[in-house]
Structure 1
Amino acid sequence: MSGLANWVMKKRLNAIIGVMVFGLIPMMFWLAAAILGLVVLRKGVKEGIPVLAWGCLPAFVLWIYQGDATALMVLVDVMLLAYLLRSTMSWSWVLLAGSFLAVVSTLLQPLLMADVLNLAVALVQKVLVSEGVEVPDKDMIFNQAVMAVSIFQVVIAVISLFLARKWQAGSIILAVYAQNFIN
């Protein structure tokens, strides 16, 4: 993994390629978000914005065709949280902001992912009926699905940021070791 981080940090184009490729691979958007987080942590928001823009392209395409905006939301969350971590250097503020992002995401989910959430509600109702369990109100299941997806997105964003910070720390240690070795 540190080889990937080193390759991504060589050029902006490498970071863009990494974010786009991992954004297109199903269930690998967390790695694309970690690459974006690393770019923002190491080089700042100015370098991160083009990477975010190109990374949002495959996420936007997946959202249009599949109705799932998870990759898009995680990329934006990681961008915001990485900026906050870079400027405050405080994980407490990052986790607090992550809680706030979960609330905002709860408000946005019905607009962004209504079809996917309705499918999840129908699936849960079908499973509960087949198990012979009393089926709760459809609105209650929908609201719980919205909360679960929002929390999932923020947790994945924070985990991706943890990975980006680990990569950043590894490259700093490597640079210090190389500097000591040369002197």
Structure 2
Amino acid sequence: MRALAELVMRGRMQACSIAFIGFAFPFVSSAVIGLVTLRKGSLEGFIVMLWAILPVLLSYFFSENNPYLAVVSGILVLTSLLVAVVLRMVSLWDWTLMAVVLISVFLTLMSGLFFKSELADFVQWVEEVFKLSSAGDVLVLVTMGVAINALLGLMIARWWQALLYNQGGFQKEFHSLKLDKSVGASCLVLALIGLVSNNSFGVWLKLASIPLLICGIAFVHFTVKFLSLNKFWLFLMYVSMLFGTMSFILAGVGAADSFLNLRERLTKR
């Protein structure tokens, strides 16, 4: 992975080429856009994004797959650029996590307005597979996918940046990740309202749990490192996340950490 990051940083041509080819591989294009943006600025990141979006356009016009899949890929590429710009500007992960969710929601809703026919066809397909019967439900599913994939791409980009210019920096940054109390409170309230609501708007509010979930995961990583535990516990955590209960628990841990500063309590034991 270090060799790939070094190749991206050699020049614009290399970065654009990898972003173009990376369309076929999960997170590669997003990570390349993120790395270039974090290191060289939004203009260079935008140029690389244009190359990353070319295969998306080709897929939209010429692929036999549902065109809305290409639209979703385009949303992911654009989101990857915007969240990298946010992180570069504020250097705060808690606000960046919020930005990931908000940007994903906004762009996905806009796609529903501008690509109505493509979305309608996509809903029919998703209804058969996931038993979702409304465009709103599908858009929530798309938003969640975009947010998580954009976030993973950004984290890979930050990791690459640390590998090249700040050894160990990403681990330290990730292990200290927790939400500010005001941000944590906002996410918790919105997520709880979404949890108890039975309408379609409540489903959207559940997306506020994503920052809490990521912070919960970060706390577990910190705990395993601090207590020198076997990394099997991390593997077990990620496998358990395939079941919804563990994700709720981790989101709860993320919320508790923002209010109680669990890391400080753990280190003072």
TM-score, normalising length: structure 1: 0.78
Give the alignment partner of residue 48 of structure 2, picking from 45, 51, 61: 51
2:100 matches 1:98 = yes
Percent of aligned positions that are identical:
28
Distance of aligned partners of 1:14 and 1:69 in 2 relative to their CA distance in 1, 3 Å threshold: same
1:118 to partner: Cα distance: 3.0
Distance in structure 1 (CA, Å) of the matches to 2:47 and 2:122:
34
Answer whether contact 2:126 2:138 (CA < 8 A) is retained: no
Shift of 1:60: 1.9
Alignment of 1:1-183 (within 5 A): 1-23=1-23, 25=24, 28=25, 30-66=27-63, 67=67, 68-111=70-113, 113-115=115-117, 117-126=119-128, 138=133, 141-173=134-166
Residue 63 (structure 1) shift: 2.5
Between the aligned partners of 1:53 and 1:120, the Cα distance in structure 2 is 25
Report the equivalent of 2:236.
none
Q: Distance in 2 between matches of 1:99 and 1:71?
A: 16
CA drift at 1:120: 4.2
CA distance in structure 2 between the aligned counterparts of 1:81 and 1:127, rounded to whole angstroms: 31
Gaps of 5+ in 1: 129-134, 175-183
Determine if contact 1:109/1:146 at 8 Å carries over to the other structure.
no
Amino acid at match of 1:43: K
- Tell me how large the CA RMSD over aligned residues is: 2.3
Change (3 A) 1:3 1:115: farther
Contact kept? 2:49, 2:77, Cα under 8 Å: yes
Please give the alpha-carbon distance, in whole angstroms, between the structure 2 residues aligned to 1:121 and 1:151.
Answer: 16
- Structure 1 residue 125, shift from structure 2 partner: 4.5
Shift of 1:147: 1.1
- AA aligned opposite 1:103: V
- Retained in 2: the 8 A contact 1:33–1:160? yes
Provide, for residues 56-95 of structure 1, a one-character-per-residue CA deviation record: whole Å limited to 9, x for no partner: 2112222233412122111111111111101110011111
Q: Distance in 1 between matches of 2:128 and 2:71?
A: 24
Q: Which string of whole-angstrom CA distances, capped at 9 and with x for unpartnered residues, describes residues 106-140 of structure 1?
A: 31232455455434433455468xxxxxx88x4xx
Q: How many residues are aligned here? A: 162
Secondary structure of the corresponding residue to residue 69 of structure 1: helix
Indicate how the Cα distance of structure 1 residues 127 and 16 shifts in structure 2: closer, same or farther if over 3 A, else same: closer
What does residue 181 of structure 1 align with? none
- Partner letter of residue 76 of structure 2? V
Give the gaps of 5 or more residues in structure 2.
168-269
Q: Does the CA contact (< 8 Å) of 2:33 and 2:81 recur in 1?
A: yes
